[in-house]
Amino acid sequence: MSETTVAAGSTLSETVAPIRTLPWSAYRSVKLRFKRNALAGLARLHAEHGRTVVFRRPDKSAAKDAVLFTTDPVLARMVLLDNTHFRGPSMSRRGPSATPQRRTRRNLFRMYGAAHNHHRRITNRPTNAREVEAYAPLMVERVQAHLERWQVGGRIDIHARMDAFMQDLSASILFGRDDPAETDALRELLNAWTQAQANVWVPLLRMNWAGTPRGRMLSLAERLEQRVLEQMARCRAQGLDSNTLLSGLLRSVDHFGGAADRELVPHVHTLFFAGHATSSSTLTWALFLLAQHPQVAHALRDELAGRLSGDPAGPESLADLPLLGRVVDEVLRMMPAVPYIRHSVVEDTLVHTVPLASRSGAYVSLFTMHHDPHFFAEPQRFDPQRWERSVPRPGTYLPFGSGPHICVGRWFALLNVKIALSVMLQRFTLRIVPQARVDSRVRIALMPRGPLPAEVLGPDATFERTPVRGNIHDLVQLT
């Protein structure tokens, strides 16, 4: 059994909070709480048992020997940095051997070791911070196009509007806008495949026949792979000189080698959902939190008006918008798009003093870490100014994860959220509909469970906090 250690030169304190071990029988109640409300379940686990708890089976021959939950920065870093012993969950269901559906599972989440390192190099090259800046004009264009549908005096569902905007933008960055109909068709196909995978009957009715839920999923995966391969062929025929992420991905694989076009198809799925889900979540909660904190919202609007005079933010102007940066940092602290990270152990290992056998599970709760009062004072208070007063302890603020599996879409999310907020807040004022029910849930990302209704007012209207209902009060102080 090998040991997972913190990388040499780490600035993390080596002090690890006490680790509690509980019998497997106690894990059953935890799973039930997790299904009802994942964030509440994680918070209760932390409150009752401390930062790290291990549920262990008495039978060592069982398929899953143990499950570890941790919010300890040292243990979290050990798990997240280890690309040899830990593997993330698949974002797609298993299909028959040698089918497009089966190939979708060969994505960055499921890769580890040398294969992951190579494919991560391929995807990192076109998604680094500098490369992403080239998409800023497209980000501005798409957010302005979506805002044309907002009407002063009307109502919108913030969640639905941000989701639609980010799906459109993610597809546009991936495939371009030279052929809008083709880009929209690919976006709709990606969504249809995703919804087919979420069908509860797929794992229950394991027939692959046409017309069954599973058969529909397999058919959509085949169509999607074919359409993406056709797009790749078109990009290559045009010389890979277009300003699209797909062309950048192909240029990267030509540079590094070692991957066929078909092996890149799962990365297209990952880049679409990584770019869309993280930004959609962050924008949704940013607009909600600003609407419920008028003083912060007015200060941010004043900063935008004073520095931009109605223009959108861009890569060159973000340094002059410190409050905008602090607002986004605070939203990501309070409502991280991915509130916890689940890994599977692929090889027996030792995390600090905790032995984990192959096929055990390890959860790192970023949400609970971000809400730990030992790391952040008054953690349930939305306070962007905390980022001016102090810097968080290393390893305690991980909104996009850390290590080899850090979110590949993080630079897109950070730039796009800031650009989108700079445009939205200079054109409109949003006021949450009084007594709206705001509950959170975790699927691909942390989102409202239902609609998030808001009144659309003009740019000169005042922000006003309104009373809302729901479990949001367990996450954020709104009084």
- pLDDT of 258 reads 87
Q: Is the pLDDT of residue 13 over 50?
A: no
Class of domain 94-151+158-337+399-427: mainly alpha
Confidence category of residue 205, pLDDT binned at 50, 70, 90:
confident
Q: Which residue has the higher pLDDT, 405 or 227?
A: 227
- pLDDT of 2 reads 52
Q: State the Cα–Cα distance between residues 362 and 80, nearest whole angstrom.
A: 10
Confidence category of residue 90, pLDDT binned at 50, 70, 90:
confident
Q: pLDDT tens digits, residue range 323-337?
A: 999 999 999 999 999
- pLDDT of 129 reads 94
Taking CA atoms, 352 is separated from 16, 100, 343, 359, in Å, by: 9, 40, 16, 18
Q: pLDDT tens digits, residue range 431-441?
A: 999 999 999 99
Query: Domain segments of the chain: what residues?
Result: 1-87+339-389, 94-151+158-337+399-427
- pLDDT of 3 reads 45
Gap between the terminal Cα atoms of the chain: 51
Q: What is the pTM of this model?
A: 0.93
- pLDDT of 7 reads 38
- pLDDT of 61 reads 53
Q: State the Cα–Cα distance between residues 316 and 418, nearest whole angstrom.
A: 12
Rounded to an integer, the average pLDDT of 71-97 is 88
Write out the two tokens for 310. Answer: 């109605």
* Close Cβ partners of 262 (under 8 Å, ≥ 6 residues apart): 103, 225, 229
* Domain 1-87+339-389 matches domain 94-151+158-337+399-427 at the CATH topology level: no
* CA 244 centroid distance within chain: 21
Q: Are 357 and 60 in contact (CB under 8 A)?
A: yes
Confidence category of residue 92, pLDDT binned at 50, 70, 90:
confident
- pLDDT of 8 reads 35
- pLDDT of 60 reads 59
- pLDDT of 14 reads 60
Rounded to an integer, the average pLDDT of 436-449 is 92
- pLDDT of 313 reads 95
Rounded to an integer, the average pLDDT of 112-127 is 92
Q: Are 425 and 301 in contact (CB under 8 A)?
A: yes
Rounded to an integer, the average pLDDT of 136-158 is 97
Q: Which residues pair with 365 in a beta bridge?
A: 340
Start-end of H helices in 14-149: 24-36, 38-49, 73-81, 100-103, 113-127, 129-132, 136-147
Mean pLDDT of the chain: 91
Q: pLDDT tens digits, residue range 241-289?
A: 889 999 999 999 999 998 999 999 999 999 998 778 889 999 999 999 9
- pLDDT of 64 reads 65
User: What backbone phi and psi angles, to 5 degrees, belong to 114?
Assistant: -65, -40
Taking CA atoms, 426 is separated from 257, 308, 312, 391, 458, in Å, by: 45, 9, 9, 29, 9
CATH number for the domain running over 1-87+339-389: 3.30.43.20
Q: pLDDT tens digits, residue range 338-369?
A: 999 998 898 899 888 888 998 899 999 999 99
- pLDDT of 89 reads 78
Rounded to an integer, the average pLDDT of 435-448 is 93
Rounded to an integer, the average pLDDT of 192-220 is 90
Rounded to an integer, the average pLDDT of 58-76 is 81
- pLDDT of 210 reads 86
Q: Are 14 and 33 in contact (CB under 8 A)?
A: no
